[in-house]
Chains A and B, each alone.
Chain A
Amino acid sequence: MATDEAAVRDGGTADQGEPPAFDTSVAHQARVYDYLLGGKDNYAADRAAAESWLQVNPDTVFTARANRAFLGRAVRFLAAEAGIRQFLDIGTGIPTAGNTHHVAQSVAPAARVVYVDYDPVVLAHARALLTSRGAGKTNYIHADLRDTATILGKAQELLDFTQPVAITLIAILHAIPDSDNPHAIVARLLDSVPSGSYLAVSHMGSDLIPPQTLQEMRAIGSRMSQQQYSHRTGEEVTRFFDGTDLVEPGLVRVEEWRPEPGSSDTRKSFIWSAVGRKR
């Protein structure tokens, strides 16, 4: 399903670990997402791509916002109920309200968060804005998810890998084509953290989008975006959690994962989500 030849253009395995250059002439996932969330840190190419996606799939704005809200609820769960104090947030995106360390440190002020992203625009904002001044600490690593050696090496400067760590991969794995073996990447990350650690993933679902729409969305992606998207089935997403036990309610759409009481929105997103605890 994810045999996007264009992935090579995006770095692929060829120059793994080399973050893309500063280029605002092509849409980038982080900036498109910023636009869909109502932010102003995006460029003309990002808005053009977002608007094209919106035309073929009007649920895109709801989906982006539901995904962001899932991040908040998942981190709150991890800090408050699972007692996690260390977070490795890969695919940070452009900082906005309710970033991982804001949520985690509102529950546990001493929580430590290491952010990872490879977009140079995210770099500028994250280094300046994702800082904490209280008991907790944050760090930012400019690296590609495929470069797990760099990520794990630098993350250990702030995180203690003998203690449980929550790894959050929110709406990022679908930017990794099958040819780069995303399941092996996640396995390497999970291998480096102890039992009792957690994995939180959200991922665009190929089985949550009508086939015709999916085809059109992909066509826009390959024409207008730096990232090519590999939508995956619920079953493929579940395989990222090998070696973990999914916490309730298991694999569901992002808006269905432990929703706030009283949320009555009946719209449906097209992103799968789950949180698992490493055995």
Chain B
Amino acid sequence: MGADLPIGQQSIPELGDPPADATVLRMLLGAQLRRLREGVGVSPEKAGYEIRASRSKISRMETGRVGFKARDIEDLLTLYGVADGQQRTEILALARKSNLPDWWARYSDILPDWFETYLGLESAAISIRSFEVQFVPGLFQIEDYARAVTRLGHRTASADEIERRVGLRMRRQSLLTRAAPPHVWAVMDEAVLRRPLGNAAVLRAQLRRLTEAAQLPDVTLQVVPFARGGHAGASGAFSILRFEEQDLPDVVYIEQLTSALYLDQRSDVEHYLEVADQLSGEALTPDETTAFIEQVAREI
């Protein structure tokens, strides 16, 4: 599948496979801790007290948002009545593995914590559904387009920093060409295709990249044309990340100016799932979308 991508956007072999596992391991371990806690009827407050932390720390641990300290896990397992030596050893080994650094650790100076969380979820997901109102989804941006987007958000950044940020974005795209890529299903408002980031030539190249990406077996692109009038996506851009494990809930990601929202309560997620389902029903089909993007590219 790598051959389908232009040179320069293929995966960078020396960095190795994205270790998607760390995030998933944290989430699985968190889910297991939650089940153990609920099984013995211990409140999050009490569990937090036991490890000298807050209720919200327990919540972050149980959703896999933070790393685990061996001592915390030991204390929690004792509180939850897990006396079996083998089970304790297994859980602790899982905790150690889940704390290995992710590939983006080298970018941590330019990455806010909330975006590191997203990268972990993104590389662990089996499907990524998104709705975009302004920009081409990051996973499909070409360098020049990404540079223009990055400059918008970091007006005072040095040229070096901009290049590192663009480099990070390109590095993320390697998940499209890894052995078992996630299904990336993006719905874009027509405005995304028409807003000239960089210049007209950059936008044309970007649109060409979109039509190429649409041919990848695990990529589904749809556009909601202006002509369809108002649509279900009035809420703005969002992503829904899905994980293979039955235990793990879908996570909705909404980026804000200085932070991000992660929703994983089923009732919240369902709202976005419904909007995504409606948008996909209202949007052009994938085949119509490719023709539409080509048409827009000719008009620029």
By beta carbon, the residue of chain B nearest A123 is B281
Known: A40-B250, A41-B273, A44-B270. A129 touches B220 (CB 8 A): yes
* B185 CB-CB contact with A under 8 Å: yes
Instruction: Count contacts between A and B, CB distance < 8 Å.
Output: 48
* B267 CB-CB contact with A under 8 Å: yes
- The answer to whether B270 touches A120 (Cβ under 8 A) is no
**Residues on the A chain within 8 Å of B183, using CB:** 129
* B280 CB-CB contact with A under 8 Å: yes
**Residues on the A chain within 8 Å of B286, using CB:** 127-128, 131
By beta carbon, the residue of chain B nearest A129 is B220
By beta carbon, the residue of chain A nearest B277 is A124
Q: Which of A68-119 contact B (CB under 8 A)?
A: none
Contact flags A35-54 to B (C-beta < 8 A → 1, else 0):
00010110110000000000
**Residues on the A chain within 8 Å of B242, using CB:** 40
**Residues on the A chain within 8 Å of B215, using CB:** 133
- The answer to whether A43 touches B185 (Cβ under 8 A) is no
Quote the shortest CB–CB distance from A109 to chain B (angstroms). 14
By beta carbon, the residue of chain B nearest A134 is B217
* B278 CB-CB contact with A under 8 Å: yes
**Residues on the B chain within 8 Å of A131, using CB:** 220, 286-287
* B222 CB-CB contact with A under 8 Å: yes
Contact flags B236-264 to A (C-beta < 8 A → 1, else 0):
00000010001000100000000000000
Taking beta carbons and an 8 Å cutoff, which residues of A are in contact with B?
22, 24, 38, 40-41, 43-44, 120-121, 123-125, 127-129, 131, 133
Taking beta carbons and an 8 Å cutoff, which residues of B are in contact with A?
183, 185, 215, 217, 220, 222, 242, 246, 250, 266-267, 270, 273-274, 276-281, 285-287
24 pairs from A and B in contact (CB 8 Å cutoff) = A22-B277, A22-B281, A24-B270, A24-B274, A40-B242, A40-B250, A41-B277, A43-B273, A44-B266, A44-B267, A120-B277, A120-B281, A121-B277, A124-B278, A124-B279, A124-B281, A127-B280, A128-B185, A128-B222, A128-B280, A128-B285, A128-B286, A129-B183, A131-B220
